[in-house]
């Protein structure tokens, strides 16, 4: 890429966390059967009037504040006119000339700030479901509130685009404005990419990329497209202004439409909604939600708890995990142990749950108690794992579970001496090997005692007892011979 600079801008659509749609009272529930959350307003019947959802405005303002965007005092909606089977009104209520927010920025982990050009509110269209011999339409999504966030062309590599999306998603999740669940289409991204001569100010012709349904997809599509454009420029070809779709299976972009087919949306002010002013009250009401954004939390957690950058990145990758971690640390101030158990056994268990973090019932208090018991030798590794797996979706009393499943670790030598003696008597060969210098033989013997204790013995204590017993055996033999 040395001859050229890559120039990328991203357009992200996020669904706002509202219970009802943006201009009617229909539910936004994702799991409802097709065409059950619809009414004359969102289906565009003649004579109906839209009513603006206050909660959608509040969340949109919150996002503007989190992105440091200027919130325009007076805003209005416009109609974007086009025909498509998933759009029953044949127009989408959107914002064009006067967006809700302008001139913000998002900071990346590298410290670089990516400019945000504009942030505007609009309604979503329905969903087409293509079957073998037919296409079906579900209007449940029609009229759900969307926020479009358009970046400046400040992004200079596919990796940086990935980082931008990661931090944008985290930011929106941290402030509770959107779940950003990509599998449900609550976050969608289009990209613009062009190449220009290194250091030049004049931009090249840009290509719009669509159909990318994961952050990795965005990165792969941009990587492919940068290479395609560079190869074309090297051959002296011209890049044409066009929209291309990403084919994830073939890992390439394909032509969707050229400039000649570009839409004229004939925007005009929405006559059924009044212009309105954004009051100081709403700005003050939303400001407290912008507490500590992900990047700031990342820096603080790493410093405060002395854990690695990689571990911190996993912890902050979901606000549930970050909150859980910090709360567990207030109960048991051993962040390294908490991190190990949280990112190890706990995440393993979470990944087995279909609803992931949403299904977790175990409290940070109970989790920290298990880790504490492990550190205090009350539970061995296996038993601690078992307690976590048993309590993750129940949050039962830890002590009761340990009692019921008789998982408490046995460290008392008196309780273990019988098992140790039996093991010594039954494994002469292993003892001989150990005495001949084969270190691993002791682990085999520890394993035998663990088995006899049904996994409850403290392996450290067992090892010490075995070593002591073998030493004694050896000195007795020496004395007898």
Name the minimum Å distance from CB 273 to Zn ion: 15
149 binds Zn ion (CB under 5 A): no
Nearer to Zn ion, 39 or 331 (CB): 39
Report the nearest approach of Zn ion to the CB of residue 212 (Å). Answer: 29
Query: Checking DSSP bridges between strand 207-212 and strand 242-247, what pairing results, if any?
Result: parallel
Stretch that binds Zn ion, among 40-48, 109-117, 331-339, 408-416 (CB under 5 A): 40-48
Taking the complex as a whole, the smallest distance from the CB of residue 88 to Zn ion amounts, in Å, to: 10
Indicate the residue among 15 and 349 with the shorter CB distance to Zn ion: 15
Cβ-based neighbours of 114, under 8 Å, separated by 6 or more: 105, 106, 107, 108, 151, 152, 154, 155, 160, 164
Burial class (CB in 10 A: 0-12, 13-18, 19+), 66: buried
Nearer to Zn ion, 139 or 305 (CB): 139
Cα dihedral 231→235→240→245 (10° resolution): -30
Binding-site size for Zn ion (CB under 5 A) equals 5
Is residue 316 within 8 A of residue 170, CB to CB? The reply is: yes
* Number of residues written out for the chain: 481
**Could you say whether residue 42 binds Zn ion (CB under 5 A)?**
yes
Q: How far is the CB of 140 from Zn ion (least distance, A)?
A: 9
Least distance (Å) between residue 41 CB and Zn ion: 5
Q: Which is nearer to Zn ion, 41 or 431 (CB)?
A: 41
Helices vs strands, H then E, count in the chain = 16, 16
> Segment near Zn ion (CB under 5 A), from 38-46, 81-89, 163-171, 199-207?
38-46
In the complex with Zn ion, which residue's Cβ is closer, 23 or 167? 23
Q: Which is nearer to Zn ion, 141 or 385 (CB)?
A: 141
Q: Which of residues 6-25 bind Zn ion (CB under 5 A)?
A: 24
Q: Which region among 34-42, 184-192, 245-253, 345-353 touches Zn ion (by CB under 5 A)? A: 34-42
**The only residue of 32, 35, 39, 102 in contact with Zn ion, by rule CB under 5 A:** 39
Supply the minimum distance, in Å, between the C-beta of residue 42 and Zn ion: 3
As measured in angstroms, the least distance from the Cβ of 17 to Zn ion is 18
If one asks whether residue 273 binds Zn ion (CB under 5 A), the answer comes out as no
Shortest distance in whole angstroms from residue 52 CB to Zn ion? 13
290: Cβ contacts below 8 Å, ≥ 6 apart: 62, 65, 66, 175
Task: State the DSSP string of 337-350.
Answer: HHHHHIIIIIHHHH
Distance CA 378, CA 150 (A): 54
Q: Which is nearer to Zn ion, 43 or 245 (CB)?
A: 43
Which secondary structure element, helix H or strand E, spans residue 374, and what is its range?
helix 364-375
Residue in 254, 179, 244, 166 with CA at minimum distance from that of residue 205: 244
Q: Which is nearer to Zn ion, 42 or 168 (CB)?
A: 42
431 touches Zn ion (CB under 5 A): no
Alpha helix (H) ranges present in 235-353?
280-286, 294-305, 309-316, 319-331, 335-341, 347-352
Q: Is 26 in the site for Zn ion (CB under 5 A)?
A: yes
Which residues in this chain contact Zn ion in the complex, by CB under 5 A? 24, 26, 39, 41-42
């Amino acid at each position: 890429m040395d001859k050229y600079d890559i120039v990328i801008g991203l357009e992200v659509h996020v669904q706002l966390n509202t219970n009802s749609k943006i201009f009617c009272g229909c539910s936004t529930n994702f799991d409802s059967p097709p065409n059950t959350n619809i009414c004359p307003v969102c289906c565009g019947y003649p004579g109906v009037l839209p009513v603006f959802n206050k909660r959608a405005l509040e969340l949109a303002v919150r996002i503007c504040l989190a992105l440091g965007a200027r919130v325009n005092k007076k805003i209005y909606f416009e109609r974007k006119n086009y025909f498509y089977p998933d759009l029953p009104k044949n127009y989408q209520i959107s914002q064009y000339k006067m967006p809700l927010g302008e001139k913000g920025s998002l900071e990346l982990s590298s410290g670089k700030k990516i400019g945000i050009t504009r942030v505007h509110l609009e309604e979503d269209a329905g969903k087409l479901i293509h079957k073998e011999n037919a296409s079906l339409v579900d209007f449940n999504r029609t009229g759900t509130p969307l926020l479009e966030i358009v970046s400046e062309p400040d992004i200079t590599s596919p990796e940086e685009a990935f980082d931008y999306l990661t931090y944008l998603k985290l930011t929106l999740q941290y402030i509770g404005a959107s779940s950003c669940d990509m599998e449900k289409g609550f976050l969608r991204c289009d990209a613009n990419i062009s190449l220009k001569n290194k250091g030049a100010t004049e931009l090249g012709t840009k290509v719009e990329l669509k159909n990318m349904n994961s952050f990795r997809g965005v990165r792969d599509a941009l990587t492919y497209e940068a290479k395609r454009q560079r190869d074309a420029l090297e051959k002296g070809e011209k890049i044409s202004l066009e929209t291309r779709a990403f084919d994830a299976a073939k890992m390439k972009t394909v032509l969707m439409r050229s400039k000649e087919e570009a839409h004229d949306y004939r925007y005009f002010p929405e006559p059924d909604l009044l212009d309105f002013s954004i009051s100081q009250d709403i700005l003050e009401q939303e400001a407290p939600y912008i507490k500590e954004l992900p990047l700031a939390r990342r820096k603080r957690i790493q410093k405060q708890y002395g854990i690695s950058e990689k571990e911190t990145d996993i912890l902050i990758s979901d606000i549930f995990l970050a909150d859980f971690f910090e709360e567990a640390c207030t109960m048991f101030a051993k962040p390294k142990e908490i991190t190990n158990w949280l990112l190890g056994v706990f995440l393993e268990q979470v990944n087995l749950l279909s609803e992931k973090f949403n299904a977790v019932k175990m409290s940070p208090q109970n989790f920290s108690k298990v880790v504490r018991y492990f550190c205090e030798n009350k539970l061995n590794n296996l038993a601690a794992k078992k307690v976590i797996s048993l309590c993750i979706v129940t949050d039962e009393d830890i002590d009761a579970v340990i009692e019921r499943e008789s998982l408490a670790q046995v460290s008392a030598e008196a309780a273990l001496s019988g098992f140790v003696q039996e093991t010594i008597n039954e494994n002469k060969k292993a003892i001989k090997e150990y005495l001949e210098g084969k270190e691993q033989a002791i682990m085999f013997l520890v394993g035998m005692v663990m088995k006899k204790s049904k996994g409850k013995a403290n392996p450290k204590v067992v090892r010490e007892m075995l070593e002591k017993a073998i030493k004694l055996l050896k000195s007795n033999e020496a004395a007898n011979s």
